[in-house]
Each structure stands twice: as structure tokens, then as C-alpha cells.
Amino acid sequence: MKQNIVVLSGAGVSAESGLKTFRDSDGLWEEYSIMEVATPEAWERNPELVLKFYNERRTQMRSAKPNAAHIALAKLEEYFNVAIVTQNVDDLHERGGSTKVLHLHGELNQSRSVKHPRFVYEIEGNEINMGDTCERGSQLRPNIVWFGEEVPMITPAIQLITKANIILVIGTSLNVYPAAGLLYHAPYGSRKYLIDPAENDGSVIYKLEHIRVNAGVAVPRLVDQLIHEITSAD
């Protein structure tokens, strides 16, 4: 039987693809304050600005390419049951070849009805604009979990992590809950790694083996090591 690997990823896994992380930029996110663009209040105040911000992020994402870390993670699937639980709203894990990706904070590629949240659509073209509506006539917004909103995907994520044999935490500051709290559900005895070049308090709090190297280098190396262990044990 294959072992279960759960990957918990954050902005750092996409850094080497040219997408900026959040906390490395003085509270600004691509020149915008997070509170100005990523909260329900921001949407109430200035929906045009919020749409513009996410339209720009989507365009930027589509010109970015998966890096060596995303591609290496996909390689694991031949030998392990792999689930990626990502805080990222980009699609670089999918484009890197991973087939089971759960997006805790939503997806840039999707829109959602403001009034009927069950209506979620893949975005055709690059933009959501004012006046774009769902099949019931309500305005569409990005299908992103904003600060202060519920995180519905946390329940399936907990189910995945409670069955993990190996947990790879990659490129997240572990500052944002409930995502970071997932690690409290890691089974006793599971192997837990953190790949992040910077100091990270989470490594102590959650007892992670901290590899202080960029994901583009460390992930392929760790993936090869895990595959080697499994194939030489057969």
C-alpha cells in the first residue's frame, strides 16, 4: 500500500516562478494594502478596485510557469498517495502536474456569484468586470477567501492530514489560521518537514524538520530522497 503524503504549501513555493510572497513585502501585496483589496469590506467599498487587483494577479499568474518545486511534487504521485493542500490561489501546482490539489483560499481562475455562492465558474478570458453576472443575474466576484471569511475547504484538509504518513510544509510563514492550525492534526509519528529559507517559528511550534533552502532546490532533492527510500525498501 502506498504511503500518504500531504503537502501544505504557501506563497514561497511560487516565489521562484516570479509571484511575490505576502509577508516579505512590508504589508503590501504588489503595491496594494491587503485590507484595501482582500476583505469583504474592501469589496463593499470599492469593488472596481478589488476586481482590478485580482484581474492583474490573474494575468501575472498566467504568464508565470511552474518551477522545479511544483514539478518535483508531481513526480511523487507515482510512488505515494499525494494530496496538495495549498494556500495559494495560483494554478502552478496543477500546471506542474499534480492531480489532487485542494485550494484553501480559493482560485484565481474562478468567479463566484455574490448572492448565490454555490454558483462558481471557470473564468473565460482574463477578467471579471462590473456587470458580469451569474445565471441568476448577480454580480460575480473572485472565488477567493478574503480575510474574515470562512474557509470551507478546511474540513476536507483536516481529513487528509489526519491520514498523512509524511507532511511537507513548503514556503509558508505559518502565520494565517486556520491553515497553519492544520498541523495540530498531524498524526503522532508522522514525518514532518518544513522547506523555507528564512527563520520560521512554525518549525519549533509544530516540531518540523527545517530545511533552510529555497523550494526550487530543496523540494526536488527531498522528493528524490523519499522516492529512493521507497524504491530501495521494495
List active site positions. 105
Smallest gap from Cβ 14 to ligand OAD, in A, equals 9
Under the binding rule (CB under 6 A), the answer on residue 21 touching ligand OAD is yes
Please tell me the distance from the alpha carbon of residue 176 to that of residue 180, in angstroms, as a whole number. Answer: 6
Q: Which is nearer to ligand OAD, 87 or 190 (CB)?
A: 87
169 half-sphere exposure, CB direction, 13 A CA radius: 30
Please tell me the distance from the alpha carbon of residue 73 to that of residue 13, in angstroms, as a whole number. Answer: 11
Q: Which is nearer to ligand OAD, 2 or 184 (CB)?
A: 184
Under the binding rule (CB under 6 A), the answer on residue 15 touching ligand OAD is yes
What track of x and - describes contact with ligand OAD for positions 165 through 204 (by CB under 6 A)? Answer: ------xxx-xx------------------xxxx-x----
Smallest gap from Cβ 21 to ligand OAD, in A, equals 3
Under the binding rule (CB under 6 A), the answer on residue 17 touching ligand OAD is no
Phi, psi of 181 (to 5 degrees): -65, -15
Radius of gyration in angstroms for the set of CA atoms belonging to the chain, rounded to a whole number: 18
Q: Is the dihedral of CA 93, 118, 41, 178 positive or negative?
A: negative
Q: Which is nearer to ligand OAD, 140 or 174 (CB)?
A: 174
**CA angle 73-75-80, nearest 5°?**
85
Site for ligand OAD in 30-49 (CB under 6 A): 34, 38
Which residue ranges make up the site for ligand OAD (CB under 6 A)? 10-12, 15-16, 21-24, 34, 38, 87, 105, 145, 147, 171-173, 175-176, 195-198, 200, 214-215
